[in-house]
Amino acid sequence: METRNATRLCIVRHGETDWNIEKRIQGHIDVPLNAIGEAQARATAAGLRGWRFDAAYSSDLVRARRTAEIAVADRGLAVRPASGLRERHYGTLQGLTADEIRRRQPVDYGRYLARESDYGFGTGESLAEFAARVVAAVEALASAHRGQQLLLVSHGGVLDICYRRATGRGLTPPRDFPIPNAALNWFDVGDGGWRLLAWADRRHLERALEDSPE
């Protein structure tokens, strides 16, 4: 299906953080990249070297902003903050691992696993609210840069919503697709809707690993 008047988007999940390793929910908590995350961001810059971008945007959380700054450092391209690209606010679950949630908040743990679309874990966003925010933010950027090519650096939850939007998958089915840190994900967004072009491209990260000294 053709996407008319489309804007092409490369959407990248931020590089690795220590909380990613611990499988601790970050949400809106500002957790920095670790050393591997910084290296992934540099590999992303190398992987994007053959591509031209008209503008770059990132979530205003430090892990995404730092990834974006490294990725475009040699382009003379400013990274513009876009709060709509922030990760979901997980309310009382933020800062906890899945095992901690299961032990401390068993009812919320069941709702978390079920991906209940209308529940926000006390002080957070519901899945439906989060999805509406992400779709509106991405479509607004696509509309403002119609026909151009953009780099967006964001989060795993945001990419989950983008994948589902482009493929017609609902919000509540379990995630059965990978969202690697610093992988490249390509979309067209325009008058004809969303189209997924490429997903979870990690070749630049594999090359960086091969090129690193032993």
Catalytic positions: 14, 87
Q: What is the chain's percent helix, strand, coil content, to nearest 5? A: 40, 20, 40
Q: Strands 79-81 and 55-58: what pairing?
A: parallel
Give strand pairing partners of 189: 7, 194
* DSSP class of 61: S
CA atoms in the 13 A half-sphere facing the CB of 24: 14
Cβ(73)–Cβ(45) below 8 Å:
yes
| DSSP H stretches of helix in the chain | 18-22, 35-47, 62-71, 98-104, 106-114, 127-144, 156-167, 203-211
* Stated length of the chain: 214
C-alpha 54/C-alpha 71 separation (Å) is 14
The two three-digit tokens of residue 9, written as one number: 């988007």
Residue 111 tokens read as 């709702």
